[in-house]
């Protein structure tokens, strides 16, 4: 499961360089601390080894859809069943992308006392979630791009909180995933594995994360000792 995520980089030029895209692709970029379903974000695709960042909303809507009422139900796609689900099958073979982030949230504890946890790279870098994208016509001739984040079984770090996690790709795997010439499902699915435990750490986040209306740096300020990180066992 991945229901909220972050991309908090302040410097647009630096982010463009990290992603290998033109800075102009990110002209509307702003740091985000609480990206939620149906929000606008962006995806990265690759063609002839040239990467492009394009705006897209989170929650995949198929081209044949007459409305986006199911978008919030298609924010995630299970890696194990991509080729079996009609909603994802065609995009899996033809429209693969990565979604830049620098962390995602999960919650632990009972529903009445859920504690948000921020899961992010141990080295403070960015991550590339494996994704799929589609476009649909909100009005005749008015196409809107959407995406979904692919999930896989949780690694040992995240399993105590949730049994699923987004697929995190390294640079080589990301390029292989976005390669439009690759259409063999077996080859593609070998990329959709859990990230190794040492790549990620878990840090408590502020309860302000619980409301999608909140979206600022205070969401990652929980008044704990600087650098405190958790390993849940």
Of residues 219 and 227, more confidence is placed in 219
Of the pLDDT bands very low, low, confident and very high (cuts 50, 70, 90), residue 133 is very high
Residue 229 located in a structural domain: no
Residue 225 located in a structural domain: no
Residue 138 located in a structural domain: yes
Residue 21 located in a structural domain: yes
Residue 77 located in a structural domain: yes
Task: Return the active site residues.
Answer: 2, 106
Q: Is 22 helix (H, G, I), strand (E, B) or coil?
A: coil
CATH number reported for the structural domain that contains residue 65 in this entry: 3.90.1680.10
Residue 159 located in a structural domain: yes
Summarize the confidence of residues 69-86 as an average pLDDT. 93
Do 218 and 208 meet the contact criterion of CB atoms below 8 Å apart? yes
Name the domain count of the chain.
Answer: 1
Residue 186 located in a structural domain: yes
pLDDT at 225 over 80: no
Q: What is the pLDDT of residue 229?
A: 44
Q: What is the pLDDT of residue 20?
A: 97
Residue 195 located in a structural domain: yes
pLDDT at 233 over 60: no
Of residues 224 and 199, more confidence is placed in 199
Phi first, then psi, for residue 45 (nearest 5°) are -125, 165
Distance CA 87, CA 74 (A): 9
pTM over 0.85: yes
- Full domain range(s) for residue 43: 5-220
């Amino acid at each position: 499961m991945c229901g909220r995520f972050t991309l908090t980089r302040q410097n647009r030029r630096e982010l463009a360089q990290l992603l290998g895209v033109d800075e102009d692709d990110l002209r509307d970029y702003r740091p985000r601390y609480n990206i939620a379903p149906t929000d606008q974000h962006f995806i990265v695709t690759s063609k002839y080894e040239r990467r492009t960042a394009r705006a897209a909303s989170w929650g995949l809507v198929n081209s044949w859809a007459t409305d986006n009422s199911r978008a919030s139900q298609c924010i995630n796609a299970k890696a194990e069943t991509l080729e079996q689900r009609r909603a994802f099958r065609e995009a899996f073979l033809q429209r693969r992308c990565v979604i830049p982030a620098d962390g995602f949230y999960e919650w632990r504890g009972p529903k009445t006392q859920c504690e948000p946890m921020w899961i992010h790279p141990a080295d403070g870098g960015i991550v590339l979630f494996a994704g799929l994208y589609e476009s649909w016509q909100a009005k005749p001739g008015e196409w809107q791009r959407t995406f979904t984040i692919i999930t896989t079984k949780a690694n040992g770090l995240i399993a105590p909180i949730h049994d699923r996690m987004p697929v995190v790709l390294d640079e080589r795997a990301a390029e292989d995933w976005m390669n439009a010439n690759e259409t063999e499902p077996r080859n593609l699915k070998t990329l959709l594995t859990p990230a190794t435990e040492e790549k990620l750490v878990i840090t408590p986040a502020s309860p302000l994360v619980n409301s999608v209306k909140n979206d600022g740096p205070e969401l990652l300020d929980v008044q704990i000792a600087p650098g405190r990180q958790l390993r849940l066992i």
